[in-house]
């Protein structure tokens, strides 16, 4: 049995949208399968096994999608996974063609340690819509909701962006809440934001969840800043586009090897990736809770079946989906 509720919703689209929207249930099925498959590894300190189980389960679902999907950005490059790697084709081979950005377990460390916050995530977009980062594994990101989408400039100092975003939201800087990953590379950024007066939430991982916190009406954050993975960045761009928010990015190599590969590919760290470049067409995003959080519940057992909580985001609409039934 599945129940749904919609926030910030528009009327349901029953076949009047592009073919991409017909694939939305498969996105939820893929993240749901991944979340269930890795449950046996939650808290066991085996993040590779958790990620492998989730990836295999998600890949099995993707084989049944009625279309031809191309993994534009996925597991293979950054996490050295054997499936759902860049340029892999999935689906039945029919129409429509579509792009895929995927992270079967975002926050694998949280999953391995049994900590809240891990999600199974995937995004579909119209063919040739998602930016392909090639060898770029990391990118600098600036993400805001609709009210502040026209005031951000990732080239400016963080304090300047903070002030403009606060003004757009009719807040003082002291009322602002920023999400920045707790990484050594962000020590200065976090310190500067706090000196400016903002509250800074510093999860160790999970910038997709951090972006959702800034984008969704029920979220507690106002902006996401800082460097995270490119798979998460492309998926986030899909969510931003669907919800009318604002986003900019830049490739941000984190090693000499990555910097050399990025340069060889002709990617320029100074080039600002606007939302239209990151996600040029309509997008569908799905996430299912893996270890639970205030956002999405961890999968639970009902007799001999699994229950899950997911979120589905399509253009202009957010659906929270509770489903029971998988063995």
Strand runs labelled E in 134-263? 138-144, 177-179, 199-201, 223-229, 246-251
Burial (CB count <10 Å: 0-12, 13-18, 19+), residue 116: middle
| Full set of structural domains in the chain with CATH | 2-129+282-326 (3.30.540.10), 138-278 (3.40.190.90)
pLDDT tens digit string along 182-198? 999 999 999 999 999 99
Measured distance CA(28)–CA(32) in Å, rounded: 6
What pLDDT score was predicted for residue 80? 55
Q: At a CB cut-off of 8 Å and minimum separation 6, what does 14 contact?
A: none
In tens digits, the chain (327 residues) has pLDDT values of: 344 443 333 333 333 434 889 999 999 999 999 999 999 999 999 999 999 999 999 999 999 999 999 999 886 554 555 678 888 999 999 888 999 999 999 999 999 999 999 999 999 999 999 999 989 999 999 999 999 999 999 999 999 999 999 999 999 999 999 999 999 999 999 999 999 999 999 999 988 999 999 999 889 999 999 999 998 999 999 999 999 999 999 999 999 999 999 999 999 999 999 999 999 999 999 999 999 988 899 999 988 899 999 999 999 999 999 998 766
Q: What is the pLDDT of residue 6?
A: 38
3-state secondary structure at position 320: strand
Q: What is the pLDDT of residue 81?
A: 55
Q: 3-state class of 147 per DSSP?
A: helix
Pairing, β 2-7 against β 317-326? antiparallel
- 3: which 2 tokens? 């129940």
Residues in the chain: 327
Q: Could you give the CA distance from residue 76 to residue 71 in angstroms, rounded to a whole number? A: 10
Q: pTM value?
A: 0.89
Per-residue pLDDT of 76-129, as tens digits, reads: 554 555 678 888 999 999 888 999 999 999 999 999 999 999 999 999 999 999
* Token pair 């050594």: residue: 184
């Amino acid at each position: 049995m599945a129940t749904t509720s919609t926030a910030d919703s528009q009327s349901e689209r029953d076949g009047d949208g592009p073919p991409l929207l017909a694939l939305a249930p498969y996105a939820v099925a893929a993240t749901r399968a991944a979340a269930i498959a890795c449950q046996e590894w939650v808290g066991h300190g085996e993040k590779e096994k958790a990620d492998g189980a989730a990836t295999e389960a998600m890949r099995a679902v993707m084989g049944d999608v009625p279309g031809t999907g191309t993994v534009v950005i996925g597991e293979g490059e950054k996490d050295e996974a054997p499936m759902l790697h860049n340029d892999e084709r999935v689906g039945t081979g029919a129409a429509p063609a579509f792009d895929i950005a995927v992270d079967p377990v975002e926050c694998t460390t949280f999953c391995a340690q049994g900590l809240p916050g891990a999600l199974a995530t995937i995004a579909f977009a119209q063919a040739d819509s998602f930016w392909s980062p090639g060898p770029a594994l990391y990118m600098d990101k600036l993400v805001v909701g609709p009210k502040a989408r026209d005031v951000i400039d990732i080239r400016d100092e963080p304090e300047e962006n903070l002030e403009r975003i606060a003004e757009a939201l009719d807040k003082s800087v002291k009322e602002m809440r920023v999400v920045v990953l707790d990484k050594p590379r962000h020590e200065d950024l976090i310190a500067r934001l706090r000196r400016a007066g903002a509250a800074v939430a510093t999860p160790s991982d999970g910038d997709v969840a951090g972006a959702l916190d800034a984008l969704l009406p029920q979220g507690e954050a106002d902006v996401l800043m800082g460097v995270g993975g490119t798979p998460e960045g492309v998926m986030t761009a899909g969510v931003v586009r669907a919800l009318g928010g604002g986003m900019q990015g830049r490739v941000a190599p984190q090693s000499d090897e990555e910097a050399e590969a990025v340069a060889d590919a002709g990617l320029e760290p100074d080039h600002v990736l606007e939302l239209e470049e990151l996600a040029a067409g309509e997008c569908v995003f799905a996430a299912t809770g893996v270890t639970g959080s205030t956002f999405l519940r961890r999968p639970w057992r009902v007799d001999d079946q699994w229950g899950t909580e997911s979120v589905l985001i399509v253009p202009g609409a957010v659906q929270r989906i509770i489903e029971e039934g998988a063995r």
